[in-house]
């Protein structure tokens, strides 16, 4: 498959938190099958979606991710029997909390991708990348990261900005 | 009668007799328990040094038990004294506790989480008319202006599952549900407006962690938010770390919080923490039909699952 390379002004940073048994293997399959997908995604692998603490998602947003993908085995396929069932409830609750605090949920995607679904992985990553590209950079967390409440005013020195860009 | 006194009279929610009869009932029960040697102590309230205040105490002798009171100043959730954080109290032997309805929910929650055994505690429940809010003028009696926000829409005035009940509930007036109104107002906002609302509140947080220390469910010996290797949540009071702290706190208490609103009461920066708690309680009730702390339950909504749980948000 040939894909024309298009240069965009804004390249979203996508962090994918994936389980090693299904989605990581699925992404690997996409790679070995030479499927093309946007290079914007950084994959972090975990033993199970049950190990993915909501705080990791928060941390990703704080540290500059414009979008986060969380992916693991389909229900019933968990290597540890029920890790993804627990994760499913936890993330359902976490989404409600984020929404209440005012975070745009279209930047956060959950999916089930099995080891055989290289194609689905490509689809997921492409879709999320394009969606986040349309939304533009996630500025809310970035502003928080730069804000320095107790110094009396917001610190927006060029040095700080540069340091932040380098993350 | 002067003018101000009359103004107060018209607003008084419960008459004096109620408080003294509850206090008497607590004293009687506590003295009986201690004299019979059924418990090693009674966790309750005594009058504070200043008028209109009260403080927690562990009464260990009948004489001390005769000092116990119940008044609108008895705001503390005494369930805290049964957690790991207060080992020195629970190591004294079997204890009795004076508990309002909302505090009973914390006890039930602690039992559900194996922090406390039912047989290790004797519960003196209070038919509770309400307590003072955080900034109440305590020279006034309990009235519309001084009652705590949580008490305005309380669902647990009558304690259930207690070993003894102190007092009888007087007729209660229906009050405007301020907290529910505020929650509805927030829910109707756009995400941007909500972000701005919380950003302003969270940025004031000084990370004193009083909200954590006072919460009966924050009993972890090592809090995730204190760890710095690896660090998940920045520990200094900067807006980024504060936001993370509040999200983590709300998430860790989701499905567990009994709604005693102690966290909000002790917050020196007036951050409306109970709105977050209430929101999560409401969502978990909708999602999994679970309400924390009404009766001890072995599993909370986030520690169990059903195979057919909703997954419409997952692709
Ligand atoms: S919330 Fe209910 S039980 Fe708790 S202090 Fe208020 S009136 Fe009493
Ligand atoms: S989070 Fe607040 S309201 Fe909930 S149990 Fe803890 S102190 Fe009480
Ligand atoms: S009590 Fe208030 S100021 Fe202190 S850490 Fe909690 S929210 Fe922040």
Centroid of chain to Cα B242? 23
Q: Is the pLDDT of residue A155 over 70?
A: no
pLDDT at A154: 56
pLDDT at B9: 44
In the structure, what pLDDT confidence band is assigned to residue B312 with cuts at 50, 70 and 90? confident
Query: Chain A, 30-89: which have a CB under 8 Å from a chain B CB?
Result: 53-56, 58-59, 62, 75-76, 82, 85-86, 88-89
Q: What's the CA gap between B157 and B105, in Å, rounded?
A: 12
pLDDT at A30: 94
pLDDT at B293: 81
**Beta-carbon separation of B305 and A145 below 8 A:** no
Please state, rounded to an integer, the average pLDDT across all residues of chain B: 91
Average pLDDT over residues A62-68: 95
Instruction: Residue B242: name the closest of B262, B257, B225 by CA.
Output: B225
**Tens-place pLDDT, residues B271-298:** 999 999 999 999 999 999 888 888 888 8
Q: Is residue A88 reached through a cis peptide bond, with omega within 30 degrees of 0 on the bond before it? A: no
In the structure, what pLDDT confidence band is assigned to residue B88 with cuts at 50, 70 and 90? confident
Q: Whose CA is nearest to atom 6 of ligand 1?
A: B151
B230 and chain A in contact, CB less than 8 A: no
Ligand 3: atom nearest CA of B206 is 3
In the structure, what pLDDT confidence band is assigned to residue B2 with cuts at 50, 70 and 90? very low
**Beta-carbon separation of A93 and B280 below 8 A:** yes
Q: CB of B75 closer than 6 A to ligand 2?
A: no
Q: CB of B97 closer than 6 A to ligand 2?
A: no
pLDDT at B46: 97
**Tens-place pLDDT, residues B174-186:** 999 999 999 999 9
pLDDT at A152: 46
Measured between CA atoms, how close is A102 to chain B, in angstroms? 4
**Beta-carbon separation of A147 and B203 below 8 A:** yes
- Which residue did the predictor score with more confidence, A65 or A145? A65
CB A164 within 8 A of CB B263: no
Measured between CA atoms, how close is A2 to chain B, in angstroms? 27
Q: Is the pLDDT of residue A151 over 60?
A: no
Q: Whose CA is nearest to atom 1 of ligand 2?
A: B257
Q: Which of A75, A93, A124 sits opposite B307 (nearest CB)?
A: A75
Collapse the DSSP code of B12 into the 3-class scheme (helix H, G, I; strand E, B; otherwise coil) and give the result. Answer: strand
Measured between CA atoms, how close is B191 to chain A, in angstroms? 4
Measured between CA atoms, how close is B238 to chain A, in angstroms? 6
Q: Scanning every residue of chain A, which has its alpha carbon at the shortest distance from the alpha carbon of B201?
A: A101
Ligand 2: atom nearest CA of B214 is 7
pLDDT at B58: 94
Q: Is the pLDDT of residue A25 over 50?
A: yes
Q: What's the CA gap between B183 and A41, in Å, rounded?
A: 37
Residues of B in contact with A58 (CB under 8 A): 244, 247-248
**Tens-place pLDDT, residues B216-247:** 999 998 899 998 888 889 988 889 999 999 99
Q: CB of B233 closer than 6 A to ligand 3?
A: no
Q: Is the pLDDT of residue A19 over 90?
A: yes
Average pLDDT over residues B75-102: 87
Q: Is the pLDDT of residue B11 over 90?
A: no
In the structure, what pLDDT confidence band is assigned to residue A117 with cuts at 50, 70 and 90? very high
Q: Which of A88, A89, A111 sits opposite B315 (nearest CB)?
A: A111
A91 and chain B in contact, CB less than 8 A: yes
Please state, rounded to an integer, the average pLDDT across all residues of chain A: 89
In the structure, what pLDDT confidence band is assigned to residue B3 with cuts at 50, 70 and 90? very low
Residues of B in contact with A136 (CB under 8 A): none
**Tens-place pLDDT, residues B197-219:** 999 999 999 999 999 999 999 99
Q: Is the pLDDT of residue A149 over 90?
A: no
pLDDT at A2: 63
pLDDT at A1: 55
Instruction: Residue A23: name the closest of A82, A106, A88, A79 by CA.
Output: A79
Q: Is the pLDDT of residue B28 over 50?
A: yes
**Tens-place pLDDT, residues B29-53:** 999 999 999 999 999 999 999 989 9
In percent, the amount of chain B with pLDDT more than 90 equals: 72
**Tens-place pLDDT, residues A79-107:** 898 999 999 999 999 999 999 999 999 99
Q: What's the CA gap between B160 and B179, in Å, rounded?
A: 24
Instruction: Residue B123: name the closest of B152, B145, B142, B103 by CA.
Output: B103
Q: What's the CA gap between B186 and B92, in Å, rounded?
A: 45
Q: Which residues of A49-76 are buried (b: 16+ CB within 10 A; e: fewer)?
A: bbebbbbbbbbbbbebbbbbbbbbbebe
**Tens-place pLDDT, residues B95-130:** 999 999 999 999 999 999 999 999 999 999 999 999
pLDDT at B79: 95
């Amino acid at each position: 498959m040939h894909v024309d390379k298009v240069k965009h002004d804004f390249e979203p940073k996508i962090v994918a938190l994936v389980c090693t048994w299904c989605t990581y293997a699925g992404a690997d399959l996409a790679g070995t099958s030479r499927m093309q997908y946007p290079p914007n995604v950084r994959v972090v692998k975990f033993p199970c979606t049950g190990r993915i603490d909501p705080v990791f998602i928060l941390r990703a947003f704080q540290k500059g991710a414009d979008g986060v993908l969380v992916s693991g085995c389909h229900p019933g396929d968990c290597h540890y029997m029920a890790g993804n069932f627990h994760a499913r409830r936890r993330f359902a609750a976490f989404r409600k909390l984020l929404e209440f605090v005012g975070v745009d949920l279209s930047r956060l995607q959950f999916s089930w991708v099995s080891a055989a679904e290289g194609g689905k992985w490509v689809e997921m990553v492409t879709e999320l990348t394009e969606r986040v590209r349309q939304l533009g950079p996630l500025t809310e967390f970035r502003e928080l990261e730069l804000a320095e409440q107790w110094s009396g005013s917001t610190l927006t020195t060029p040095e700080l900005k540069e340091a932040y860009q380098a993350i | 009668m002067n003018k101000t006194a009359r103004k107060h009279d018209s607003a008084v929610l419960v008459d004096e007799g109620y408080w003294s009869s509850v206090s008497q009932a607590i004293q009687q029960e506590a003295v009986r328990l201690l004299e019979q040697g059924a418990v090693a102590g009674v966790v309750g309230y005594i009058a504070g040094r200043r008028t209109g205040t009260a403080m927690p105490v562990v009464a260990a002798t009948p004489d001390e038990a005769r000092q116990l009171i119940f008044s609108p100043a008895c705001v503390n959730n005494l369930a805290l004294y049964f957690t790991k954080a207060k080992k020195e109290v629970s190591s004294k032997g079997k204890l009795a506790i004076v508990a309002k309805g909302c505090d009973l929910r914390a006890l039930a929650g602690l039992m559900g989480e194996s922090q406390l055994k039912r047989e290790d505690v004797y519960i003196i429940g209070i038919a509770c008319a309400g307590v003072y809010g955080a900034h109440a003028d305590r020279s006034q009696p309990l009235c519309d202006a001084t009652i705590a926000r949580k008490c305005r829409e309380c669902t647990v005035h009558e304690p259930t599952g207690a070993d003894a009940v102190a007092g009888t509930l007087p007729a209660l007036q229906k009050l405007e549900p301020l907290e529910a109104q505020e929650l509805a107002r927030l829910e109707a906002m756009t995400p941007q407006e909500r972000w701005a609302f919380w950003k302003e509140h969270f940025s004031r947080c000084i990370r004193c962690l009083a909200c954590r220390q006072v919460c009966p469910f924050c009993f972890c010996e090592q809090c995730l938010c204190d760890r710095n290797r690896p660090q998940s949540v920045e520990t200094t009071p900067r807006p980024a770390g504060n936001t993370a702290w509040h999200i983590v706190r709300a998430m860790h208490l989701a499905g567990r919080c009994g709604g005693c609103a102690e966290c909000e009461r002790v917050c020196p920066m007036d951050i409306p923490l109970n709105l977050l708690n209430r929101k999560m309680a409401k969502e978990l009730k909708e999602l999994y039909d679970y309400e924390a702390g009404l009766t001890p339950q072995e599993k909370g909504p986030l520690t169990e699952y059903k195979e057919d749980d909703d997954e419409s948000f997952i692709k």
